[in-house]
Chain A
Amino acid sequence: MFSRLLGRSAPSAQVAKQRLQLVLVQDRTSISAETLNLLKDEIIAVIARYIEIDQEHVQVSIAPNNAGHQLVASIPVRSSRRERPLTPRANGAPPAA
């Protein structure tokens, strides 16, 4: 009870659900976690030859979508001014301090 209030462990049902969602994607597509890891390493190697990326935070996963499953890769790109990405501002609001 206290450990949950302190955020140390999620209720086990939530853990069970997350584990199931991950393992079922592997079962349904016959793509193992190991295969995904190998794929991720190769993707990093290829992309890093062209672009400077944040290799620590690359994520490669299989996610269900309405048509079946899709391979999703999230590859953060390093920029020289990472703390202030160039996103378009709405309403011409003044830049944040």
Chain B
Amino acid sequence: MASQVITITSGKGGVGKTTATANLGIALAQRGRRVVCLDADIGLRNLDVVMGLENRIVYDLVDVIEQRAHLRQALIQDKRLPELFLLPAAQTREKTAINETQMRALCAQLKTEFDFILVDSPAGIEHGFKNALAPADQVLVVVTPEVSSVRDADRIIGLVEATEKPAPQLILNRMQPTLIKRGEMLDIADVLEILAIELIGIVPEDETIITSANRGQPAVLLDHSAAGAAFIRIARRLLGEQVPFGALEEPSLLARLANFFRR
């Protein structure tokens, strides 16, 4: 398979872009692919802490683009998975420190070394989003089942569809089966009908996302995380596997029992 730049975006902030980027990066690297997670959220960098690599940053994306550092010097190798790297965002610069042409050039260079370049987009539809979108071969839109999130996702989908890029695919995050059953949360079919794009995965609301982010150990690394399992299914779909969608992709009874007894 040729190298791919996959941009993870959403429009609305705080819906799970960084969480998805970190977990998909790990799941793909666990499957033997060379992966770099690129934090394009300049000024609000977070991917480093979610991945647990914040203490190892020396140079960042802007240093590379402004040629203060070589790409090799800025890439941080993950000790847990030698195939996984992080290219951190600059924390003290503005989104306008880089432009679309520079992002395309950087990703072209990364493509010679990596199978997957996962770009964690900032929220919004302005400069930072455009930088993240520019190099994308494929776009994943993260949405939560709320009116504001779905509305913003629709806007993003329109912007992606206005480019030459293939239609984006949808990650439905923070789904709560019990609320959906009561009719108090938009369900999968509702969101898909409204947004009319292809689904690539459903991630449940799951406290292991929070506890694992606390530790800098993304949920994919845990054994009993329903959300982690959901991200692994998405990674397998990205690798071209046909992975059936379970009803709401609920954790298996066994996993739930295991969770229960661990308390």
Which A residues are closer than 8 A to B by beta carbons? 11-14, 16-17, 19-21, 23-24, 27-28
Contact = CB atoms under 8 A, between A and B. Distances in A.
Contact of B185 (A13, A19, A21, A24): A13
A23 B155 CA distance: 12
A21 B194 CA distance: 7
Contacts of A21: 194
Given A11-B183, A23-B151, 8 more contacts: A12-B183, A12-B184, A13-B183, A13-B185, A16-B186, A20-B147, A24-B154, A27-B154
4 nearest interchain CB pairs? A11-B183, A17-B190, A12-B184, A16-B147
10 contacts: A11-B182, A13-B186, A13-B187, A13-B190, A16-B186, A17-B186, A20-B150, A23-B147, A24-B151, A24-B154
Interface of B: 146-147, 150-151, 154-155, 158, 180, 182-187, 190, 194
A13 B194 contact: no
Contacts of A17: 186, 190, 194
B154 A13 contact: no
Contacts of A20: 147, 150-151, 186, 194
The B interface is mostly helix, strand or loop, or mixed, namely: helix
A27 B158 CA distance: 10
Given A17-B190, A17-B194, A27 B183 contact: no
Nearest to B194: A20
A28 B195 CA distance: 11
A81 B73 CA distance: 85
Contact of A28 (B150, B154, B185): B154
B15 to A, nearest CB: 15
